Amino acid sequence: MSRQMGSSRLSFFVFLVVLPAALTDQQLTLVVDGTKTVAETDVNFICATLDWWPHDKCDYNICPWGYTSVMNLNLSHPFLVNAIQAFKSLRIRIGGSLQDQVEYDIGKLRYPCHPFWKDKSGLFGFSRACLRMSRWDQLNNLFRNTGAHVTFGLNALYGRRQTKQGVWEGTWDSTNAYELIKYTITKGYTVDSWEFGNELSGSGVGARVRADQYAKDLIALKGIINELYKNHDPKPSLAAPGGFFDQDWYTKLLQLSGSGMIDLVTHHIYNLGPGSDPNLVSKILDPNYLSRILDTFAKVKETIQKNGPWASPWVGESGGAYNSGGLGISNTFVNSFWYLDQLGMSAKYSTKVYCRQSLIGGNYGLLNTTTFVPNPDYYSALLWDQLMGKGVLSADIDSPSPLRSYAHCTKGREGVTLLLINFSNETTYMISVRNSINLRMTIRESIDSKESAILRGLKKAVSFIGVREWEASLKREEYHLTPKDGFLESQVMLLNGTPLELTEDGKIPTLKPLLVDVYSTISIAPLSISFIVLPNFDAPSCV
């Protein structure tokens, strides 16, 4: 659907109201292959970031970060705590543009310990800053209490010198990172992975380091991790380089660092362009535009397979639109078309973890910057986390359409979960799901020895294995996501027609499905998103 940002939001709303008279239905068949997985994600695929940006980080004359920095975020806010706890084990990546200018307040310091301030001569217009260990203690208290898995981005420019515009030379000074890691171990804090640097790969963003030097520094960091964690099993993973994918640069890094050195190959994606783009919504609603990123996923996978098959690909940071996201767009319902579609695409290319920029802060935060109330994408992420398991399955539609389909093994239980994204503004898709094994839905269930004639007849048509109640096995779960009042840029998401809002005591609401006859056709409304759980779909690869 094409729409200019400059057009009236009111007229767009009216368009959605009057459109039903012209709506059409289209029958589609979706074939899911449950015999094999085409890829596998980490069990904790969903990740969100905490950034270093201070309150006076501004883009397009707007300063959308507030007090959400690693340095000053209110870590005891109950909405924040509840939002993280709802995931049970949310991955949180601490990092961002300013991380390479952060010194850790332990050991012998090179610079005075102070927060960031505006400095035209500094990287990204900010001074160096310092993370006090008292703040690191507070952060780890939050992570421990919420069950978060932590990735921490280390200061890869520490000790280097800038020799010409954007180019940093010299060997990384590891002493400060060594002291931080040692302190972390002494305090009993758990860091799942240490990441080295932020957006220093290739041509860099603001700063860059040559691949050969980066490789040498990674070898040194791996040695530190092995030394300090020698009595720990498992040791934290080493992630790098946390930048935009440059195939030649990434290839050299993997080759020169050597076998088994990098555990997690991280890359960043902002494929929607600047947050000020007047065509941002049009891009989000154009599946052909969104598909352009597939080439990056394919090349990342290929590069790792050829040069570092011991490593796993991660999207270490992705906010859709860069420069803090799009005001009034990145924090609204429409953004979930981009977000969930990219989760589905990245998973098919063996991406293990996908880190959303950001958990809170900027226009693209999963939580509102000032109120801490969840934005629509928060619930999209939570539904994915609750329903979509590690195993990625092939899901093919029998004819071209603006309907995206993804299939995973259901998380934590048998069956298959579908993610269906309808980019059409006029067509309701009526979907019949077929199993590639026999091109029909296969219900698996145990049969009582005193089965009725009806059950015996059904048994001839479908296979039965399992121990569930008969009535329950004939139901599927449906989670239909739409915007409040049909307004795509609403900050309120509806689940099966009900607004998703915090409970009276500030807790995340229970995400309740519709229970529908498993034999009935699935209906996906225009410009809507649905998760469909098929608990008895015969998928041997998911057992």
Distances (CA, A) of 297 to 198, 249, 317, 344, 391: 19, 16, 14, 12, 18
Residues 6+ apart with CB under 8 A from 297: 345, 346, 348, 349, 351
**DSSP assigned state of 118:** B
The dihedral through the CA atoms of 536, 351, 512, 433 has a sign that is negative
Q: Return the pLDDT at 438.
A: 65
Q: Return the pLDDT at 468.
A: 44
What is the dihedral angle through the alpha carbons of 345, 348, 354, 359, rounded to the nearest 10 degrees? 50
Residues 276, 226 contacting (CB under 8 angstroms): no
Residues 262, 308 contacting (CB under 8 angstroms): yes
Q: Return the pLDDT at 396.
A: 95
Q: Return the pLDDT at 450.
A: 39
Q: Which residue has the tokens 């500094």?
A: 122
Q: Return the pLDDT at 19.
A: 41
Cα–Cα distance, 103 to 109 (Å, whole number): 8
Cα–Cα distance, 218 to 349 (Å, whole number): 25
Cα–Cα distance, 134 to 106 (Å, whole number): 11
**DSSP assigned state of 368:** -
Q: Return the pLDDT at 110.
A: 86
Partners of 39 in the beta sheet? 392
Residues 508, 379 contacting (CB under 8 angstroms): no
* Residue 279: other Cβ atoms inside 10 A: 16
The dihedral through the CA atoms of 501, 504, 508, 510 has a sign that is negative
Cα–Cα distance, 486 to 528 (Å, whole number): 10
Q: Which residue has the tokens 């910057």?
A: 369
- 380: Cα within 13 Å, side-chain hemisphere: 34
Q: What are phi and psi of 359, to 5 degrees?
A: -65, -45
Distance of CA 96 to the CA centre of its chain: 15
**DSSP assigned state of 375:** P
Question: Concatenated DSSP letters for 55-114?
Answer: TT--BTTB----S-STTT--TT-HHHHHHHHTTSS-EEEE--TTGGGEEEESSS-SS---
Residues 201, 249 contacting (CB under 8 angstroms): yes
Q: At 333, which amino acid appears?
A: F
Question: Concatenated DSSP letters for 197-264?
Answer: -SS-STT-SS-B--HHHHHHHHHHHHHHHHHHTTT-SSPPEEEEEEEE--HHHHHHHHHHH-TTS-SE
504 catalytic per annotation: no
* Residue 242: other Cβ atoms inside 10 A: 30
**DSSP assigned state of 52:** -
Residues 154, 195 contacting (CB under 8 angstroms): yes
Catalytic site residue from 103, 195, 199, 477: 199
User: Tokens for 425?
Assistant: 């503004």
Cα angle 452, 458, 462 (rounded to 5 degrees) comes to 140
Cα–Cα distance, 299 to 305 (Å, whole number): 10
Closest by alpha carbon to 123, among 178, 87, 166? 166
Q: At 313, which amino acid appears?
A: P
Q: Return the pLDDT at 543.
A: 87
Q: Return the pLDDT at 439.
A: 56
pLDDT averaged per 10 residues, the chain (length 543): 39 39 83 97 98 97 97 98 98 98 94 93 95 98 98 98 92 98 98 98 97 98 98 96 98 98 98 98 98 98 98 98 98 98 98 98 98 98 98 94 97 97 97 81 42 36 36 81 98 98 97 95 98 95 93
Angle of helix 133-146 relative to helix 78-85, nearest 10 degrees, comes to: 50
317 catalytic per annotation: yes
Catalytic site residue from 40, 227, 302, 317: 317
